[in-house]
Amino acid sequence: MNEVIAHSLFTDFDVDLFKSGKHYRLYEKFGSHITTVNGIKGTYFAVWAPTANQVSVIGDFNSWHDGEHKLNVRWDSSGIWEGFIPLVGKGDSYKYKIHSNNQGYISEKADPYARRYEHNPKTASIIWEDDYKWNDKKWLKTRKEYNALDAPYSVYEVHLGSWKRHATEDRFLSYVELADDLVNYVKEMNFTHVELMPIMEFPYDPSWGYQITGYFAPTSRFGYPDEFKLLVDKLHENGIGIILDWVPSHFPEDIHGLGYFDGSALYEHPDKQKGYHQDWKSLIFNYERNEVRSFLISNAIFWLDQFHADGLRVDAVASMLFLDYSREEGEWQPNIYGGNENLAVISLLKELNEEVYKSFPDVQTIAEESTAFPMVSKPTFMGGLGFGMKWMMGWMHDTLEYFSRDSIYRRYHQNEITFSLAYVFTENFMLPLSHDEVVYGKKSILGRMPGDEWQRFANLRLLYGYMFTHPGTKLLFMGGEFGQYDEWNFKKSLDWHLLEYEPHKKLNTFYKELNKFYRNTPSLFQKAFENDGFEWISYEDNVNSVISYIRKGNNPEDDVIVVCNFTPIVHDNYLVGVHRAGKLKEVLNSDAEKFGGSGVVNSRQISIKKAPWNGKKYSAQLKLPPLGITVLKLK
């Protein structure tokens, strides 16, 4: 077989940037790249393994023999091994056979930068390049209008393996099939964005994709990388943005993965107190190592650059930020200032967001961060971490706790449904009803609702209406939009047959209309993160478990009044304060019969009287539906 030919894609400047943690396009250098050298077509390989004394490329092209294709180590102490192998190309499987200086340790590792991997349980990398021709130029040119912080932002969170399975064969839908089925459904439901749980290559299905071994490749479970690009393209063609879950917080110990890569703690922190996650039995990246920082930022940029993602939802940020996260006393060491913050992570996240928004100013980064760490979604020049948005975990917890209570007891817990408004404008919050809330015995969202069947569906419509009129962007996990009865099971499809039953079908209609109403009501999104976009009318009527408020946009003519009745008691003449003269017209009512409600609606225009109430100069008498929300437009 042909010998390895000395060849390099790295300039000295590339190496300097890599070693200083400032190279943000490493995927253009590391990995396997099909190229031509001396008139011969083949593949260039490059891998980082500074503790190795020999690195060979083994694969189906050399019968997996060690030593036949030895890479050359660079002279510059970068730890980069590289070389060109003639006549090796697209579709060939390979790994790196690494002989370590550390006690003779030998490992066979998948390529950390590979663009494709074998289908699990196989673990080899595959040389890959595609010539996919993108058709989303129009979307990319205009997506700032869809991704802006003053635009409607309603996200459908999806696990591709269990959203829907093939009708007659027990298998996943492919990226190509999803480009029809999923895209058409999301468009019909009027969502603005899809968020995919991790689609990077991972070995273990029960991890849902959060234990990644192939950071630069879409999982082979659903098809080829160019077929995933087709799915992205189809979403964009239909005016739908795509957000990818991204996991820089930890990685698994699988023998072919990043762990103990060259016989040393290369990607993980060598100190177990910083390098091992006790809850997830996984390894934590060494955020203090420059080369690892370059790897992580390059990976984030890769998905925005090569796959045209419109945003990244960064997983488990809290676990990264705090040295004592899920650790007892004596299991962690404070930083140089005596605090529990991981200073390396703070600087990394700032650097990440600065580079993302510099290169892609029209995307969003979204932090899943569950603590009170300050200024997560504030710009770095203000001292913030620089994220575009942050999940509002407090709202999610309090709201679900409140709604799970029987309505007769809600009067004693009014603060659970109003407290979020005391801090809602401290961050750019996204309101999540995510996959984490429908597993591990928590029940489905519908399953948490109290009462008989009618009340459960009414409660759920009320919950969704409250979420969409509350300041912030919106996220719902798949199945919630039609009232999945059972907890989410990653092993099987959602229960789509439920749409044959009227309560589920009408709930689905309500969510579709709610998305449409949200997108067409500027006061619900133009000032989603601004204090003057919200005004209380009353949060004090805990006796009746009723709250009312005003949502405001750029134009006062777009103001809407929202009233939520959290009990099944109908109020025929409920007095509500109004801030301006005119008339009120009901524009949304969750109790409408077409949504499965009882039909208690305000069908006529309502006169506003100059009679002070709730601290406002005017007032109006409304009919409040049972377990319902009514939204009224000032005319």
Rounded to an integer, what distance in angstroms lies between the CA atom of residue 157 and that of residue 331?
Answer: 35
The answer to whether residues 279 and 232 touch, using CB atoms and an 8 Å cutoff, is no
Burial class (CB in 10 A: 0-12, 13-18, 19+), 408: exposed
Closest by CA to 266, choosing from 302, 290, 230, is 290
From 227, 233, 315, 559, active-site residue? 315
Rounded to an integer, what distance in angstroms lies between the CA atom of residue 327 and that of residue 57?
Answer: 40
Closest by CA to 198, choosing from 243, 229, 236, is 243
Measured in degrees and rounded to the nearest 5, phi and psi for residue 391 equal -65, 135
Closest by CA to 262, choosing from 448, 521, 79, is 79
What is the number of residues in the chain?
635
Rounded to an integer, what distance in angstroms lies between the CA atom of residue 539 and that of residue 614?
Answer: 10
The answer to whether residues 147 and 311 touch, using CB atoms and an 8 Å cutoff, is yes
For 195, other C-beta atoms within 10 Å of its C-beta total 26
Closest by CA to 9, choosing from 27, 24, 20, is 27
**Residue 303: partners with Cβ closer than 8 Å, 6 or more residues away:** 244, 246, 309, 312
For 511, other C-beta atoms within 10 Å of its C-beta total 25
Alpha-carbon Rg for the chain, nearest whole angstrom, is 27
* Residue 386 CA, distance from chain mean position: 16
DSSP state of 30: S
Please provide the distance, in angstroms rounded to a whole number, between the alpha carbons at the two ends of the chain: 81
Measured in degrees and rounded to the nearest 5, phi and psi for residue 113 equal -110, 10
Mark whether 495 is an active-site residue: no
DSSP state of 68: S
Helix, strand, coil shares of the chain, percent, nearest 5, are: 30, 25, 45
Tokens of 388: 């575009």
From 368, 369, 481, 591, active-site residue? 368
Rounded to an integer, what distance in angstroms lies between the CA atom of residue 574 and that of residue 67?
Answer: 83
Q: How many Å is the maximal CA-CA distance in the chain?
A: 92
CA distances from 476 to 272, 383, 426, 527 (A): 36, 31, 22, 21
- The letter for the amino acid at 363 is V
CA distances from 168 to 4, 164, 172, 178, 532 (A): 48, 12, 11, 16, 53
- The letter for the amino acid at 508 is N
Three-class secondary structure of residue 58 per DSSP = strand
Mark whether 502 is an active-site residue: no
For CA atoms 465, 466, 472, 476, the dihedral sign is negative
Measured in degrees and rounded to the nearest 5, phi and psi for residue 388 equal -75, -40
Catalytic machinery residues: 315, 368
